[in-house]
Structures are given as structure tokens and as C-alpha cells.
Amino acid sequence: MNNERTGVSGSLESCDALVMVVFSPDCEGLEIEIDSPSIASFGEEMRKAVRETLESAGIFRGIVKIQDRGSLDCTLRARVETAARRALAGDVREKVNT
Amino acid sequence: MMERRLRRTSLYIPGTNPGMLANASVYGADSIILDLEDGVPVSEKDAARILVRNALRAIRYRGVEVTVRVNALCTPFGKDDFEEIIPLAPDAIRLPKCESAEDVRQADALMSELESRNGIQPGTVQIIAITESASGGTKLSEIAAASPRIAALNYGAEDYTADIGAVRTKEGHELDDIRAKVIVAARIAGVQALDSVFGDVNDMDGLYAEAFRVRQLGFDGKSVIHPRQISVVHSAFTPSEKEIGFAERVMKAFHEAASRGTGVIALDGRMIDAPVVARAQKIIALAEAAGCLLIEG
């Protein structure tokens, strides 16, 4: 797990999401954990948005933890992309409490 | 030549706030400023840039001018801001630290390159130049004339007064000098003059007084930092019934003279010349924007 790199983005404010991306080549694929009030209605769409964003950033293996506070699709994608870029840059920031 | 778009209010929206970005057009401002510059901590520049880019892609801002305050090209963040934002073709960018014609030309060239690369007609995105230094204050005319993209001149009150060594006061006399320079340079170039923010969001009387005064000076609008400042500034920029009535009568006389094919316009036995007609047109546009009932002349 020495190659793990973590990026965090967003906040727990309303309409936002706090996203942690752990880029880990040792993972089998992408593990996506989402805690959201919208999970029952939009869980699949949210997972799809996260997966598409990470794959666009070149991340196919790793762990993503999301605490969503009612973010729009464009916000969620922005937070995931930022966290992914930070992870790829080796920018280790404060980890999300889970 | 004169820019006719209404910019009575320009509302700053922090580029780090998804909730405000989503609702930016509902507050009623004439223009919104999605802010990547001073409203964003250095550690969040990357996040704000991506968030604002995604907002521009996904959110339909209706009935409002959409502008983005990018970081200056002389900073480590400016070029990345341009590269992410210009392809989304906002109505304008707000260019801070605009202290010379070269600053404008540099931005113009990069914008043209990015527009061409993304299938956008070069020149589409306008520039609202923000001058923030004593040096820039002496070059406003050349800044205004540096590119046809320039739609308005604006100044940063805090940075400017810090640069000239002035003390910020409620009365704002320390801004008399830069306000006069902005208005004169804007009028020469045929672009708008936009005033800076009023920082005390709890002082509505002070805000109204300042907004009313800058409208009298010739400004076309004022930046605001809180949605509740919008209606106050719009009120200050709404012409009085007397002003509207006179403007209507001027325009009626103007149209009657035009239909008679005469260049001489008379009203109440006095000759009306072109500046009076221009002022009347501006008052009518402000009255219409404010939803005022026009009085029959």
C-alpha cells in the first residue's frame, strides 16, 4: 500500500459534498462509498458520475468515500475531479472521518 | 458604441460555494461574478476553478449576465483559469490587476487563441477591466482602448486605496480621484463605468447613499457582495418620476423632429441637443429595467 495517494475536496456544507479519493494501484478496481440523503433516488446516477469522472482522470483503482449534502451532479463531479487531481499530484490532505 | 447592457448590480458569488453558484441567477442582479480571485483562498484555487467550470457547463443562468473574475495572468493561477473558463464562453471575464494596455492585450491574445481552439468566434467573450493601483489609475484611457472586448471599467477600492496610502472611510472621499478617472476614461472609450463594492452589508442607508451618489457621478452600476444589497442599489439607480417624465417628453420631441426630418429638437421652447437625448435614453432604459410605469408626456 506504499503507493497510496490521497486527495480530499469539498465540504459538509449544504449543497456540497466532501470527497476523499485514495488512489491505490493495489485495489482490484474502484470502491465507491456514498453517504447521501439522495442515495435511494439517485444512488446509481451518483456512482456513474463518480466512476466517469475518475476514469476520465485516469484513476481505475482506488477507494472513494463521499459524504454528500445534497450536491448537484456538476458539484459532485467537480469535487471528485479535484480530489482525484490532488491524489494524482500526491497531495495528501486531511482525511475524511468515516 | 455605447454599451447598452444594464449592469446596475454585479453580484459576487464565491467560486467555492456550490449552493450560491447554483442559485446565482435567482437573486435579481443584472450581472453575476463567479469569483476565482480574492474570494477564494489559495489552497482552494484548483477546486473553485473546476467547480465554476462545471457550473458554467451545467447551469442555465437565465436573465442575467454571466461573468467570471479570473486570477490575473501575472499570478500562478491566471493561465489555468483562462484555459478552463474561456471555452465555456461566459458573457465576460472580469480582469483584475489590470494596470496597463499590455495586461489587456495579453489577456485578449490568450482569449482569442482559446476561443479559436474551441470553435468560438474570437472576440465573443468581453472583458471588464478592474484597475487596482495608482499606476493603473493613470492609464485607464489606454486600458479602455486596448481591445474591442472591453465592455466596462471597474476599480478595486481596497487595493487602490491601499496603494495610494489612503484611509478607507464611510464617506469614501478617498475614492473621488479614481471614480472621476474611471468615468472620464469610460466615456471617452464609449464603455461603461462600474463602481466598486460597499463593504458593510448591514448598512443599507449608507449603501443607498453611496449608490445614489455614484449614479449622479455617472456610473452605470455597482458591484455588490450580498444578495440583499441588490434591491437597494437598483432603487438608487431607478430614475425618479420627474426624471422619467422629462425623459419621455425629450424622446417624444426627438421622434417628432425626426419624423419631420429636422435636426432641431425643441421642448418647452428650449432646444434639446444630443447629450440630453442620450441621457433621456439611458433614463428610459433604467426605468424599463426597474419596471417603472412610464408617464405619458
pLDDT tens across B159-182, in order?
999 999 999 998 899 999 999 999
Q: Are the Cβ atoms of A79 and B53 closer than 8 angstroms?
A: no
In a domain, A98, yes or no: no
| Cell numbers for B66 | 454571466
In a domain, B3, yes or no: no
In a domain, B52, yes or no: yes
In a domain, B277, yes or no: yes
Q: From CA B192, how far away is CA B214, in angstroms rounded?
A: 13
With beta carbons under 8 A apart, name residues in chain B contacting A14: 19
B60 touches A: beta carbon within 8 Å? no
Q: Are residues B102 and B206 located together in one domain of the fold? A: yes
Locate cell 479559436: which residue?
Answer: B116
pLDDT tens for residues A45-86?
A: 999 999 999 999 888 999 999 999 999 999 999 999 999 999
In a domain, A51, yes or no: yes
How many domains is chain B built from? 2
Burial of B88 (0-12, 13-18, 19+ CB in 10 A): middle
ipTM entry: 0.89
Give CA separation, B272 vs A46, B4, B25, B187, B212, in Å.
64, 22, 39, 21, 26
Closest-approach residue (CA) in chain B for A78: B51
Q: Which of A72, A81, A86 sits opposite B18 (nearest CB)?
A: A72
Q: Are residues B255 and B194 located together in one domain of the fold? A: no
Per-residue pLDDT at B295 exceeds 70: no
Per-residue pLDDT at B296 exceeds 60: no
Amino acid at A76: L
Q: From CA B130, how far away is CA B274, in angstroms rounded?
A: 30
Number of H helices, E strands in chain A: 2, 4
Q: Are the Cβ atoms of A75 and B51 closer than 8 angstroms?
A: yes
User: What pLDDT does B293 receive?
Assistant: 54
Candidate from A17-26, B81-90, B116-125 with smallest mean pLDDT: A17-26
Q: State the CATH number of the domain containing residue B31.
A: 3.20.20.60
Give CA separation, B177 vs A54, B68, B155, in Å.
52, 27, 11
Q: From CA B243, how far away is CA B287, in angstroms rounded?
A: 9
Q: Are residues B206 and B272 located together in one domain of the fold? A: no
Q: Are residues B34 and B175 located together in one domain of the fold? A: yes
Domain span at residue B186?
9-236
Per-residue pLDDT at B3 exceeds 50: no
How many domains is chain A built from? 1
User: What pLDDT does A95 receive?
Assistant: 41
B55 touches A: beta carbon within 8 Å? yes
In a domain, B294, yes or no: no
Q: Are residues B100 and B196 located together in one domain of the fold? A: yes
Last residue of a domain, one of B219, B236, B253: B236
Q: State the CATH number of the domain containing residue A39.
A: 3.30.230
| Cell numbers for A76 | 459532485
Cross-strand partners of B153: B129, B193
Chain-wide mean pLDDT for chain B? 93
pLDDT tens for residues A30-43?
A: 999 999 999 999 99
Q: Are residues B188 and B213 located together in one domain of the fold? A: yes
Q: Are residues B101 and B150 located together in one domain of the fold? A: yes
Locate cell 486605496: which residue?
Answer: B161
Last residue of a domain, one of B220, B236, B252: B236
Average pLDDT over residues B100-115: 98
Contacts for A53 with CB less than 8 Å, ≥ 6 apart = A77, A80, A81, A84
B62 touches A: beta carbon within 8 Å? no
Domain span at residue A48?
5-88
| Cell numbers for B9 | 448590480
pLDDT tens for residues B130-150?
A: 999 999 999 999 999 999 999
Q: How confident is the model at residue A96 (pLDDT cuts 50, 70, 90)?
A: very low
In a domain, B2, yes or no: no
Q: Are residues B148 and B278 located together in one domain of the fold? A: no
B42 touches A: beta carbon within 8 Å? no
**Which of A15, A16, A19, A74 to mutate to test binding with chain B, by most B CBs within 10 Å of its CB?**
A74
Average pLDDT over residues B51-73: 97
Give the pairing of strands B150-155 and B9-14: unpaired
In a domain, B15, yes or no: yes
Average pLDDT over residues A1-14: 87
The size of the A-B interface in CB pairs under 8 A is: 46
Q: From CA B123, how far away is CA B129, in angstroms rounded?
A: 15
**Which of A75, A86, A91, A94 to mutate to test binding with chain B, by most B CBs within 10 Å of its CB?**
A75
Instruction: Find the angle CA(B145)-CA(B149)-CA(B150) to the nearest 5 degrees.
Output: 50
**Which of B50, B84, B85 to mutate to test binding with chain A, by most A CBs within 10 Å of its CB?**
B50
Q: Which of B22, B46, B50 sits opposite A72 (nearest CB)?
A: B22
